[in-house]
Chains A and B, each alone.
Chain A
Amino acid sequence: METQPQVPAVSLPLGVRVKSAWTRFMIALYIPAIIAGMAKTMQWMLRPKATLQYPEERHVPRKGYRGEHRLKKDEEGRPKCVACFMCATACPAECITIVAGEAPWPDRDKYPVKFEIDLLKCIYCGMCEEACPCDAIELTQTFTQVATSRAEKVYDKERLLRN
């Protein structure tokens, strides 16, 4: 039978220790604590600042950041998308609208006549990117989204291909 490690019946919470009279006196005096506190803020004063000077400096998102979507093109400039609806099915926010049509090219059956993403509904989870079998959709690093109307934030195929 395995022996359990011995634990003390009552464990003192952290910080509750029997202190010497001298230590208790120093605590009651406040002054050492005050000096320690001011040393800490001085340390912070000399540290590099976290602020970004916005219009001049821009935040660079980390690799794998999920920003606006992009539809990729192949070598001939055609959209890679074959309108399989995998992304629209995977999408938990249901923001992708695809209308498929017969492809004008011999190497595939379908292509998206219409491909719309409502960026106001999108939750930027990246599921569409994961679901895509043709590696046709991906999320870019663009995180600044400016629009003057709701309609502007519904990106159509051309806008997504440009991204």
Chain B
Amino acid sequence: MTWLWFLLKVGAVCAIVFTVCPALTLVERRIAAFIQGRIGPNRVGPFGALQPVADMVKFFMKEVIIPAQADRALFQLAPLLMFAPPLFGWAVIPFGNQIGEEKLQIANVGIGVLFVMAVLSVGVYGITLGGWASNNKYSLLGSLRAAAQLISYELTLGLTILLVVMMGESLDLNQIVLRQAESGWNIFGGGTWWLLPSGLVGALLFFTVALAENNRLPFDMAECESELVGGFQTEYSAMGGIGAIMFSEYISMTLNMALFTTLFLGGWHLPFLIDPNDHSVLGGLLSVGVLVGKVVTLCLIIIWIRWTFPRFRYDQIMSLGWKRFLPIALANIGVVALVGIFLAEG
């Protein structure tokens, strides 16, 4: 029975990720086109719905080119190292209210927050290795920039996650969501009005840093095509290379937004619609729908942001991360700590 549940949950998460991500690739191209006054891909299938399939077929037909001077093993390993970690991360995201006794979370680890942090950090290795193994100046520069950026933004990410841990008094993602369902979403201070500004600032910081973490456009130092050809992915081709890298970007986007939803936007909870004490099958499915809806909405906002803003300069990114975000995140934690000691009841 437990095995059946396990397989069912893994299947559900895979179904969510592997339908949302290809759909997002199409939606991204359509939204980009709309913003630029174009129509976008609309020929393959109704409204271009089969475009992701066509893209994938194209990628599979492409020749795999590995540069002669490249480190073959690492070169081929790097896309996998980018592709797998975001999928691991989905394992601890509570994607729905519990059905009966079964929590809708593949792995119910007590330190889910730390696990996700660890998994997000592993993504740096894929970029660094890919850039280094390509044996190309542009790739190396791109991967160095991306690694430096990811490491500096991870500090702020950790601090904003710490904020949620302090508000929810737990490292268990399930507990964090349940507490938000009972007392209020963390973005609005988790039920304590004194924490409303901290919650808003924290959510804004987390969202921005999440953009930087999965190399989305205002922060896409890894690619930087106007200066570095294609950044660390310059030498990659075909499905096992550039295809996997591009697809992993979307998986990592959904993971980051699922994490954002779980930490700040109440996870699968929606007031007046989802009752956290309703453990029926219907209620569970409804809560899964709510989570997917939130994640997709946030991803659409990310896409919208991408096609609105130009890329930051490298030094601007660094000064933004170290001189603005980090002090704000630290001050925010101080505020939450003071409120927790002096003002919050209990």
Whether B342 sits at the interface, judged by CB under 8 Å, is no
Whether A38 sits at the interface, judged by CB under 8 Å, is yes
Whether A44 sits at the interface, judged by CB under 8 Å, is yes
Interface residues of A in 21-57 (CB under 8 A from B): 34, 37-38, 40-42, 44-45, 47, 49-51, 53
Interface residues of A in 81-134 (CB under 8 A from B): none
Residues of A within 8 A of B (CB): 34, 37-38, 40-42, 44-45, 47, 49-51, 53
Contact A42 B304 (CB under 8 A): yes
CB distance from B84 to the nearest CB of A (A): 33
Please give me the 8 A-B residue pairs with the lowest Cβ-Cβ distance, nearest first.
Answer: A45-B34, A51-B39, A41-B308, A50-B37, A41-B35, A37-B308, A51-B38, A49-B39
Provide the bound-state CA to CA distance between A42 and B34, in Å: 9
Provide the bound-state CA to CA distance between A89 and B168, in Å: 88
- Of A34, A45, A53, which contacts B309 at CB under 8 A? A34
Query: Interface residue tally of chain B, by bracket?
Result: 10 to 19
Contact B37 A38 (CB under 8 A): no
Provide the bound-state CA to CA distance between A51 and B31, in Å: 14
- In the bound complex, residues from chain A placing their C-beta under 8 Å from that of B304 are 38, 41-42
CB distance from B289 to the nearest CB of A (A): 26
Whether B307 sits at the interface, judged by CB under 8 Å, is yes
Contact B34 A44 (CB under 8 A): yes
Which residue of chain A has the shortest Cβ distance to B30 in the bound complex? A45
Contact A44 B309 (CB under 8 A): no
Most chain B CB within 10 A, of A40, A42, A51, is at A51
CB distance from A101 to the nearest CB of B (A): 54
CB distance from A105 to the nearest CB of B (A): 55
- Of B33, B38, B39, B307, which contacts A41 at CB under 8 A? B307
